[in-house]
Amino acid sequence: MGLIVQKYGGSSVADAESIKRVAKRITEARRAGDDVVVVVSAMGDTTDELIDLANDITPLPPSREMDILLTAGERISMSLLAMAIANLGVEAQSFTGQQAGVITDDSHGRARIIDVKASRIRQALDAGNVAIVAGFQGVTEHTNDVTTLGRGGSDTTAVALAAALDADVCEIYTDVDGVFTADPRIVPSARKLDRVTYEEMLDLAASGAKVLMLRCVEYARRNEVTIHVRSSFSGREGTLVTDEPAVAEGEGHMEQPIISGVAHDRSEAKVTVVGVPDVPGTAAQIFETVAAAEVNIDMIVQNVSVAQTGLTDISFTLPAVDGPRATAALKAVQEQVGFESLQFDDTIGKLSLVGAGMKSHPGVSARLFAALRDAGINIEMISTSEIRVSVVTRADQLDDAVRAVHTAFGLDSSEGEAVVYGGTGR
Amino acid sequence: MGLIVQKYGGSSVADAESIKRVAKRITEARRAGDDVVVVVSAMGDTTDELIDLANDITPLPPSREMDILLTAGERISMSLLAMAIANLGVEAQSFTGQQAGVITDDSHGRARIIDVKASRIRQALDAGNVAIVAGFQGVTEHTNDVTTLGRGGSDTTAVALAAALDADVCEIYTDVDGVFTADPRIVPSARKLDRVTYEEMLDLAASGAKVLMLRCVEYARRNEVTIHVRSSFSGREGTLVTDEPAVAEGEGHMEQPIISGVAHDRSEAKVTVVGVPDVPGTAAQIFETVAAAEVNIDMIVQNVSVAQTGLTDISFTLPAVDGPRATAALKAVQEQVGFESLQFDDTIGKLSLVGAGMKSHPGVSARLFAALRDAGINIEMISTSEIRVSVVTRADQLDDAVRAVHTAFGLDSSEGEAVVYGGTGR
């Protein structure tokens, strides 16, 4: 008999019928003999509706009150799910983040879990109950204030509970079958991955794959929690995220495949600082300014200096939504830094090739660039890490780029077996 | 500088506009120099909507989970209200029942407050904040489980906080101007009472006046909390509920008026047990049976025994909704008790005349009966207490009865000044 943590997102508990369907799946797991802890998000669009309500009241809701408001969503879904399970004859108890012992810092709206004191959950399991826990929320240690963990917070709650309870696996139920070699909406022949390493999943998440949030994967890696990403709409096996690399089929079962997948991201923009004096310290000034505006930058390219003028251009990418804040901050220091002008471009796309195997395989970048050249796609920026190569293209060429690269690295499924239900591995 | 507890019901915070209006009133009280604690109910129909959701899931929701579900309602209203107040430039913090220290027993769905540990509310007030507290909810002392207080629970929360904080007054905001001598929808000339005693208010509430719930008045009397019932839609003074009797105008200011008001109640039904053997112990058997079915009975009448047969009839009133349960329980013991048959009548009305002054004024009952006789209304049952006389009539004659009695006791306003907004003093 094992211990399973299951996490269901908002689309899996969107209405009474969905809640009953999820309840059935949970009772089956319980009746199979495992202890089951379930982490649940708010129903469907509840969180967005609560945000709209707050915006009707005030343009700047205090973050402490916003957190209290938003946690009402999980309170509703978790109690309804516990009722649905009880209705199927299995004992269930729901617990708020506080009752489940999810202790966080006091950064309202984006709190970080600092401890999980799961004694009440243990008690519930020992008494034979299924424990339903509100995702996305916690409580501060000393002031007992309610906090929320920000986007993707419920996944993190699930992984944190799995770590605290030493669960055998943390099952993240979603509306796709698992992690794919590319977004199946763009590449219909994309294949579901049976297994990826934490490192690959981190790079995929950082590169635009939305199936798991970065922080949740980080938490899992740090605490060695095995994640199983799978669909709540089917009984299929999904994708395991562990520290053991996958083995390539037909390659002697000892070598891992070079590439796990092709991720893409349309949410970034590019800022180019034009005519920057090419003297020591200028780049530092620019990026200190952007950092002070609390903008996270991603890729950076500095052109070779033009000898006659002593001037250069510096380009960097950042989340498009942070564009106005970054450019305003830079304009304020234009005279001091001495650059000529700023360009802002939010029609870019980013493609990333991720695979732990590329560490030991030179030539991956060259093959990537050749595939893009053959497809007639111009590369605007390049950045590489040990297990990832990213390039920036025009936004309207991104889909073609993803397909070309997916094919060039032999990722296409021969059977075209990818099954997509909606949200997908974007 | 004083301390005021204000309570706003669901209709006062039904939407964003209402919440902003209430916020304005609260900030005015705060800016006038008083410390302000606000108890708030769930917005409009939220509670009913949550109950419907639960019923979509299961016919028998576990009461612990039902309480967690329902408390989501106040969580939403209290955080939105705190935001609206902050938006007007006044510091505000919201608190759940647990955070406010409202400790209850573990009777989910109808918990009783056993203690209020208001240290966090005190801290918030000392820091200059308005404290917003979720009504209707508390937490069990040892298991930390969420409980709800049942119907009218928010009023009780407000009175309990006022007692714990030693507030100067507990203002209960509603959609009528205060407590009236009768329901103004039935008696347009009903007058607002400036003041009633706890005892009178208890009898009015027990007799069908819905403006305050019985348990809230009981709590106020036990802890000597002055209640001010007033409208959230106007600035008018409402009705004070205290231990000091009102003084009648123009009567030397030393004598209290005989009658405070005429309450009515259409929610009861009458059960008649026909042909009961008139031997010792039979009545006890009947009422033990009803009590075992957890039905509260109100009035009881036993006819004089008919000498020839040795049989009698026993009639009692009870909440109409409990009728099926009571009659089923009685039928089960019919043979054992030996009665002939059961009659159930849910077309009755109850009229109650309440006034502390009637203690020292004989003849009140006679005047009441005469007024009903003159109006052609038959009396089916009578019961009296020290400060109340109640009669049962046909339901369709109840309105006429109320008007006739209201006039007979000189309660009609000469100016017809009663202002009604909706819900009224039923």
Do the chains contact at A83 and B65, CB–CB below 8 Å?
A: yes
What pLDDT, on a 0 to 100 scale, did the predictor assign at position A304? Answer: 73
The SS3 of residue A215 is: helix
Average pLDDT over residues A265-285: 91
Residues in B touching A54 (Cβ below 8 Å)? 79-80, 83
CA angle B119, B64, B143 (to 5 degrees): 45
What pLDDT, on a 0 to 100 scale, did the predictor assign at position A296? Answer: 87
* pLDDT tens readout for residues B220-235: 999 999 999 999 888 8
What pLDDT, on a 0 to 100 scale, did the predictor assign at position A152? Answer: 83
Token pair, residue B126, equals 């000392």
Token pair, residue A278, equals 């090419």
Nearest residue of B to residue A91, measured between CA atoms: B62
The answer on pLDDT for B2 being more than 70 is yes
What pLDDT, on a 0 to 100 scale, did the predictor assign at position A256? Answer: 59
What pLDDT, on a 0 to 100 scale, did the predictor assign at position A309? Answer: 81
What pLDDT, on a 0 to 100 scale, did the predictor assign at position B251? Answer: 47
What confidence category does residue A414 fall into, taking pLDDT thresholds of 50, 70 and 90?
low
The answer on pLDDT for B254 being more than 60 is no
> Helices (DSSP H) in A166-259: which residue ranges?
198-206, 214-223
Average pLDDT over residues B242-253: 66
The answer on pLDDT for A133 being more than 50 is yes
Q: Which helix (H) or strand (E) holds A126?
A: helix A119-126
Mean predicted lDDT score pLDDT of chain A: 90
Average pLDDT over residues B367-388: 91
* pLDDT tens readout for residues A374-406: 999 999 999 888 889 999 999 999 999 999 999
**Long-range contacts made by residues B52-59, C-beta under 8 angstroms, separation at least 24?**
B53/A16, B53/A76, B53/A80, B54/A79, B54/A80, B54/A83, B56/A16, B57/A16, B57/A19, B57/A20, B57/A80, B57/A83, B57/A84, B57/A87, B58/A83, B58/A84, B58/A86, B58/A87, B59/A87
The answer on pLDDT for B158 being more than 50 is yes
Q: Which fold has domain A250-426?
A: VC0802-like (3.30.2130)
* pLDDT tens readout for residues A49-73: 999 999 999 998 999 999 999 999 9
The answer on pLDDT for A6 being more than 90 is yes
The answer on pLDDT for B27 being more than 90 is yes
The answer on pLDDT for A233 being more than 50 is yes
Token pair, residue B335, equals 């043979």
Residues in A touching B62 (Cβ below 8 Å)? 82-83, 86
Q: ipTM for the complex?
A: 0.79
Report the gap between the CA of A296 and the closest CA in chain B (Å): 29
Cβ atoms of residues B139 and B98 within 8 Å: yes
Specify the CATH architecture of the domain B3-174.
3-Layer(aba) Sandwich (3.40)
* pLDDT tens readout for residues A300-359: 888 776 667 888 899 999 999 999 999 999 999 999 999 999 999 999 999 999 998 887
Interface contact A54, partner B, CB < 8 A: yes
Q: Which helix (H) or strand (E) holds A373?
A: helix A364-374
* pLDDT tens readout for residues B144-154: 899 999 888 99
b/e per residue, B232-244, with b = 16+ CB within 10 A? bbeeeebbbbbee
Nearest residue of B to residue A42, measured between CA atoms: B72
* pLDDT tens readout for residues A160-170: 999 999 999 99
Q: Pairing between strand B195-197 and A381-385?
A: unpaired
Cβ atoms of residues A354 and A246 within 8 Å: no
Average pLDDT over residues B318-330: 94
Q: Which helix (H) or strand (E) holds A154?
A: helix A153-165
Interface contact A58, partner B, CB < 8 A: yes
Residue with tokens 């509670």: B47
Residues in A touching B71 (Cβ below 8 Å)? 75
What pLDDT, on a 0 to 100 scale, did the predictor assign at position B150? Answer: 86
What confidence category does residue A249 fall into, taking pLDDT thresholds of 50, 70 and 90?
low
The answer on pLDDT for A250 being more than 80 is no
Q: At what angle do helices B282-292 and B323-332 cross, to 10 degrees?
A: 130
Closest partner residue to A54 (CB to CB) among B73, B83, B144 is B83
Q: Pairing between strand A169-174 and A3-8?
A: parallel
Interface contact A414, partner B, CB < 8 A: no
φ and ψ at residue A3, rounded to 5 degrees: -130, 120
What confidence category does residue B252 fall into, taking pLDDT thresholds of 50, 70 and 90?
very low
The answer on pLDDT for B256 being more than 70 is no
* pLDDT tens readout for residues B270-298: 999 999 988 888 888 999 999 998 888 88
Average pLDDT over residues A259-267: 93
Nearest residue of B to residue A17, measured between CA atoms: B57
Question: What is the residue extent of each domain of chain A?
Answer: 3-174, 250-426
Nearest residue of A to residue B78, measured between CA atoms: A69
What pLDDT, on a 0 to 100 scale, did the predictor assign at position B414? Answer: 67
Residues of B numbered 274-333 whose beta carbons fall under 8 angstroms of chain A's beta carbons: which are they?
A: none
**Rounded to whole angstroms, how far apart are CA atoms A150 and A213?**
11
Report the gap between the CA of A345 and the closest CA in chain B (Å): 36
Closest partner residue to B82 (CB to CB) among A65, A75, A78 is A65
**Rounded to whole angstroms, how far apart are CA atoms B136 and B149?**
5
pLDDT greater at residue A61 or residue A254: A61
The answer on pLDDT for A200 being more than 70 is yes
Mean predicted lDDT score pLDDT of chain B: 90
The SS3 of residue A302 is: strand
pLDDT greater at residue A169 or residue B209: A169
Report the gap between the CA of A87 and the closest CA in chain B (Å): 6
The share of chain B scoring above pLDDT 90, in percent, equals: 73
Interface contact B16, partner A, CB < 8 A: yes
Size of interface A-B (CB pairs under 8 A): 110
> Which one-letter DSSP state was computed for residue B118?
T
| pTM of this structure | 0.83
For chain B, what is the radius of gyration of the CA atoms?
Answer: 24
What confidence category does residue A235 fall into, taking pLDDT thresholds of 50, 70 and 90?
confident
Interface contact A83, partner B, CB < 8 A: yes
What pLDDT, on a 0 to 100 scale, did the predictor assign at position A255? Answer: 54
The SS3 of residue B98 is: coil
